Amino acid sequence: MERWTIGAKISAGYGLALLMLVSIGIVSWRNTTAMIEGASLRGHTDEVINSLDNLLSALQDSETGQRGYLLVGEESYLKPYRDGVVNVNSDMQRVADLVSDNPVQQKRLATLRPLVSDKLNELAETIDLMRAKGSDAAMQLVKTNRGKTEMDDIRNLIGLMKAEENNLLEKRNEFEERSARATSAVVTYGIPLAIFILSVFGFAITRAITKVLKDGIGKIAASSSEFLATTTQVASGAAETATAVSETTATVEEVKQTAQLSSQKARNVSDAAQKAAQVALFGKESVGAAVRGMQDIQDQMEQIARSVVRLSEQSQAISEIIVSVNDLAEQSNLLAVNAAIEANKAGEQGKGFVIVAQEIRSLAEQSKQATAQVRAILTDIQKGTSTAVLAAEQGAKSVDAGMKQSRESGESIRQLYESIVEASQAATQIAASSQQQMVGMDQVAMAMENIKQASAQNVSGTRQAESAARGLHELGIRFGSLIGARA
> Does residue 381 form part of some domain?
yes
Mean pLDDT throughout 30-58?
80
* Residue 464: how many other CB atoms lie within 10 Å: 14
Q: What is the domain range of residue 108?
A: 6-206
* Terminal alpha carbon distance of the chain: 26
Q: What pLDDT is recorded for position 434?
A: 67
> Does residue 214 form part of some domain?
no
- Residue 94: pLDDT above 90? yes
> Does residue 321 form part of some domain?
yes
In this structure, are residues 467 and 201 in contact, taking their beta carbons and an 8 Å threshold? Answer: no
Q: What pLDDT is recorded for position 360?
A: 80
- Residue 255: pLDDT above 60? no
DSSP letter string, 367-426:
HHHHHHHHHHHHHHHHHHHHHHHHHHHHHHHHHHHHHHHHHHHHHHHHHHHHHHHHHHHH
Mean pLDDT throughout 375-396?
78
Q: How far apart are CA 186 and CA 200, in angstroms?
A: 20
Does 161 lie in the same domain as 243?
no
Distances, alpha carbon 268 to alpha carbons 225, 272, 279, 282, 283, in Å: 64, 6, 17, 21, 23
> Does residue 217 form part of some domain?
no
In this structure, are residues 62 and 123 in contact, taking their beta carbons and an 8 Å threshold? Answer: yes
Does 464 lie in the same domain as 347?
yes
> Does residue 226 form part of some domain?
no
Does 425 lie in the same domain as 344?
yes
Q: Name the residue with higher pLDDT: 430 or 278.
A: 278
> Does residue 310 form part of some domain?
yes
Q: Which one of 238-242, 275-279, 356-360 scores highest in mean pLDDT?
A: 356-360
Give the CATH number of the domain where residue 92 resides. Answer: 1.20.120.1730
pLDDT digits (tens, 9 = 90+) for 139-151: 888 888 888 899 9
Does 457 lie in the same domain as 349?
yes
Does 189 lie in the same domain as 100?
yes
Rounded to the nearest integer, the mean pLDDT of the chain is: 79
Helical pair 79-98 and 6-72, crossing angle rounded to 10 deg: 150
Q: What pLDDT is recorded for position 442?
A: 79
* Of the residues 206, 223, 244, the one at which a domain ends: 206
Does 187 lie in the same domain as 117?
yes
- Residue 340: pLDDT above 70? yes
Give the CATH number of the domain where residue 341 resides. Answer: 1.10.287.950
**Which H helix or E strand runs over 239?**
helix 191-346
92: closest CA among 67, 62, 69? 62
- Residue 153: pLDDT above 90? yes
Q: How far apart are CA 386 and CA 312, in angstroms?
A: 8
Percent of the chain with pLDDT over 70: 82
Q: Name the residue with higher pLDDT: 331 or 406.
A: 331
> How many alpha carbons fall within 13 Å on the CB side of residue 125?
14
Amino acid at 396: A
> Does residue 211 form part of some domain?
no
Handedness of CA 310, 315, 318, 324 (dihedral sign): negative
Does 297 lie in the same domain as 432?
yes
Q: How many domains does the chain have?
A: 2
Q: What pLDDT is recorded for position 121?
A: 93
Distances, alpha carbon 331 to alpha carbons 113, 292, 343, 461, 475, in Å: 165, 58, 18, 135, 152
> Does residue 213 form part of some domain?
no
pLDDT digits (tens, 9 = 90+) for 171-213: 877 877 777 777 777 778 778 887 888 788 777 777 776 776 6
8-state DSSP, 109? H
User: CB within 8 A of 284, min separation 6: which ones?
Assistant: 410, 413, 414, 417
Does 399 lie in the same domain as 260?
yes
Q: How far apart are CA 388 and CA 395, in angstroms?
A: 10
Does 326 lie in the same domain as 245?
yes
User: CB within 8 A of 63, min separation 6: which ones?
Assistant: 84, 119, 123, 147, 151
What are the φ/ψ torsions at residue 327 (nearest 5 degrees)? -60, -40
- Residue 237: pLDDT above 80? no
Q: What pLDDT is recorded for position 50?
A: 93
